[in-house]
Homo-oligomer: A and B are copies of this chain.
Amino acid sequence: MAIDGQSPTRTRAGARQLIAPPKTKRGESSRAVILQAALDLFQERGYEATTMRAIADRAGVSLGGSYHYFPSKEHLVLEFYRHTHELHAQAIKPLLSRERDLAARLRGTVRAVVITCEPFHAVAGSIFSTVANPSSPLNPFGGTARPLRDEVVALYAEVVRGSDARIPSDIAEMLPLTLWLYQMGILYFWIFDRSPGRLRTLEVIDETTDLIVRLVSLANLPVLRGSRKRVLSLMKAIVEGQA
């Protein structure tokens, strides 16, 4: 028995290991068919109820097959996550090119998140918890999922940049990351939301986006100057320490 704090058979080894993309036509098609099977099954049954054996079955490959292309089951979820991000980005394109009001842009963007994710609502809980795990490759503060997180943050940067709101530069710098974090909070709320049509979440989104925009505009008040400076420099320190 190992006493060194590591299990003798640490099953997470593969999770850190990079896997080269397919090198042949056959490989490409195998990867695609496995991924599609996984995406479908996650949506049909949820994360935990989807077994690697079921994925292999539906993809028409053998059990070990997926592991040639994806280091772990979690990595398959990462692709799932990327997929919904692309749906979301696509969905808000018209809004972002038409609307200039910051509150409306923000509201529309966050509403689009939960609307895009609605088909996966039943599944979302277990995925979220995997995402929250600091040692998971899906953790947005960690390594593997970092690029995807940066894409989402960039999307919120675009929400802010394309608006006609005049925002002090120190706030504008931190706002996208803050909004991403805020979106995570909304998603967590949405997971617990059992109201019909997820109306409660939509209400909370409307109310909070409005509040955020109002708070940003209030931040210039003399009484708030001090706190604002402190908040922003704290956030900056945290972000920099993280990188």
A215 to B231, CA, bound (A): 11
A43 to B164, CA, bound (A): 53
Judge whether A5 and B204 touch: CB under 8 Å: no
A220 → chain B, closest Cβ, in Å?
11
Copies of this chain, whole number: 2
Is residue A234 contacting chain B, with contact meaning CB distance below 8 A?
A: yes
Interface string of A68-89 (1 = CB under 8 A from B): 0000000000000000000000
Which residue of B134, B223, B242 contacts A129 across the interface (Cβ within 8 Å)? B134
**Band of interface residues on A:** 35 or more
Which residue of B44, B207, B231, B242 contacts A3 across the interface (Cβ within 8 Å)? B44
Is residue A227 contacting chain B, with contact meaning CB distance below 8 A?
A: yes
> In the complex, what residues of B have CB within 8 A of residue A49's CB?
5-7, 10
28 A–B contacts, CB within 8 A, in A order = A1-B54, A3-B44, A5-B45, A5-B46, A7-B45, A7-B48, A10-B49, A125-B133, A125-B134, A126-B135, A128-B132, A129-B129, A129-B133, A129-B134, A129-B136, A132-B132, A132-B133, A134-B192, A192-B242, A195-B241, A200-B241, A207-B230, A207-B234, A208-B234, A211-B230, A211-B234, A218-B227, A221-B223
A residues with CB within 8 A of B: 1-3, 5-7, 10, 44-46, 48-49, 51, 54, 122, 125-126, 128-130, 132-136, 141, 189, 191-192, 195, 200, 204, 207-208, 211, 214-215, 218, 221, 223-224, 227, 230-231, 234, 238, 241-242
